[in-house]
Amino acid sequence: MTTPVRVGPYSVRLAPRAFLVSLALLVTAVVLALVAVCTGEFTVPVGDIVAALFGEGSPVAELIVSELRAPRVVTGLAVGAAFGLSGAIFQSLTRNPLGSPDFIGFTAGASTGGVVAVVMGGTAAQIAAGSMLGCVISAALVYALAFRGGVQGYRLVLVGIGVNALLLSADSYLLTKANINDAANAGAWLTGSLGGRGWEHAIPVALALVVLVPVCCYVSRPLRMMEMGDDAARAVGIRVEPVRAAAIVAGVLLCGAATAAAGPVIFVAMAAPQLARRMTRSPGVTLTASALTGAVLLTAADLAAQRLLAPTQLPVGVLTAAIGGTYLALLLRKERR
């Protein structure tokens, strides 16, 4: 249900429930970020956070806030938003809740690229570049194999699942051939973690969002029409293939940037759009709510991994896998009914 809103000479249509849900998710993300920055072995009052970020706090507060906690929180928010947006784009294109980067080979491609860089002794920048390159190559391969006079959603999912399996096998082969230290480092990276993340990880993902969010906004309306079928979209004047190509490029780059920053944190891209859809009661996938849901999910999971499971701190990928696996089982059970 949408309501027309006039702003000067312009008129936009606003979905009140989607707006309120997005606002609630934004507030939740801010609260979680403040809790993550304030709490821990050393408590930092909320009032001291801004001073520490601008170099006007105590040396201890500046170290904890500016160098340790704030970069990790910003990375988590940006990575979660990128995964949520990427998942929303591909689920909209495929019209399938399983049409997320986790299942159609894009995250696996980024994982393989990162593993190759790790076992070759690459630096953090080289690992990130390998991850991005692997994501792009796997996406191009899936798109080429699925293209038959156009790309149909079910064909993209089936081809992507096959490519995903091949890439996972390649990861296993690389781990068995690497020396024990490189294999341990690659295995830890494959889990997906926000531990030790600094501004050098947060800034690239944030920049990717700044560049690609306008592209997502541009294709959002055509994608909604394309969910009713390519013929229906063409009937109202939408150029289906250019829109689909732009959406795929944006989704792939978002997935690659997020994986490069935090590793292959699985199930966020799958669960966030579906949870957002149910909260907004939207007939299709909503990009804004999906991005905010992804940010909230990843930040909450990382906070739980740090605080609730202390003194043992698990990588955030372990929690998202447990939560996402449970959600996938419930989703499949519902679809069976």
The per-residue pLDDT for 309 is: 65
Closest CA to 40 of 17, 14, 60, 21: 60
Closest CA to 313 of 205, 196, 140, 200: 196
- Residues 313-335 have pLDDT tens digits of 778 888 888 887 777 777 767 66
Q: What CA–CA distance (Å, rounded) separates 127 from 143?
A: 24
Lowest average pLDDT, out of 41-45, 138-142, 167-171, goes to: 41-45
Who has greater pLDDT, 43 or 203? 203
Q: What CA–CA distance (Å, rounded) separates 258 from 128?
A: 10
Residues paired with residue 3 on neighbouring β-strands, in sequence order? 14
For the four alpha carbons of 11, 12, 13 and 14, in that order, the dihedral sign comes to negative
Who has greater pLDDT, 253 or 336? 253
The predicted model gives 53-76 an average pLDDT of 84
The Cβ of residue 11 has, within 10 Å, a number of other Cβ atoms equal to: 9
Distance of CA 99 to the CA centre of its chain: 14
The per-residue pLDDT for 9 is: 54
According to DSSP, the β-strands at 10-14 and 3-7 are antiparallel
The predicted model gives 229-247 an average pLDDT of 85
Amino acid at 305: A
Beta-carbon-side half-sphere exposure of residue 29 (alpha carbons within 13 Å): 25
Q: Is the pLDDT of residue 240 over 80?
A: yes
Query: Whole-number mean pLDDT of the chain?
Result: 85
The per-residue pLDDT for 329 is: 77
Written as six digits, the tokens of 5 are 């809103």
The per-residue pLDDT for 187 is: 84
Closest CA to 200 of 146, 124, 131: 124
The per-residue pLDDT for 283 is: 77
Closest CA to 97 of 277, 320, 319: 277
Q: Which stretch of DSSP H or E encloses residue 7?
A: strand 3-7
The per-residue pLDDT for 26 is: 95
Closest CA to 254 of 290, 300, 301, 299: 290
Where in the chain are the domains? 75-301
- Residues 256-314 have pLDDT tens digits of 999 999 989 988 998 899 889 889 888 777 889 999 999 999 999 999 888 776 566 77
Q: What CA–CA distance (Å, rounded) separates 176 from 116?
A: 12
Q: What CA–CA distance (Å, rounded) separates 25 from 292?
A: 6
- Residues 164-188 have pLDDT tens digits of 999 999 999 998 888 888 888 888 8
Identify the three-state secondary structure at position 258.
Answer: helix
Superfamily of domain 75-301: ABC transporter involved in vitamin B12 uptake, BtuC (1.10.3470.10)
Residues 6+ apart with CB under 8 A from 267: 102, 320, 321, 323, 324, 325, 327, 328
- Residues 67-87 have pLDDT tens digits of 888 999 999 999 999 999 999
The answer to whether the bond into 59 is cis (omega within 30° of 0) is no
Q: What is the pTM of this model?
A: 0.90
Instruction: Give the CA dihedral 108, 111, 116, 118, nearest 10 degrees.
Output: -160
Q: Is the pLDDT of residue 95 over 80?
A: yes
CA angle 256, 88, 13 (to 5 degrees): 130
Q: What CA–CA distance (Å, rounded) separates 274 from 290?
A: 8
Q: What CA–CA distance (Å, rounded) separates 329 from 335?
A: 10
Where residue 43 falls among pLDDT bands split at 50, 70, 90? confident
Q: Is the pLDDT of residue 148 over 90?
A: no
Percentage of the chain lying above the pLDDT 70 cut: 92
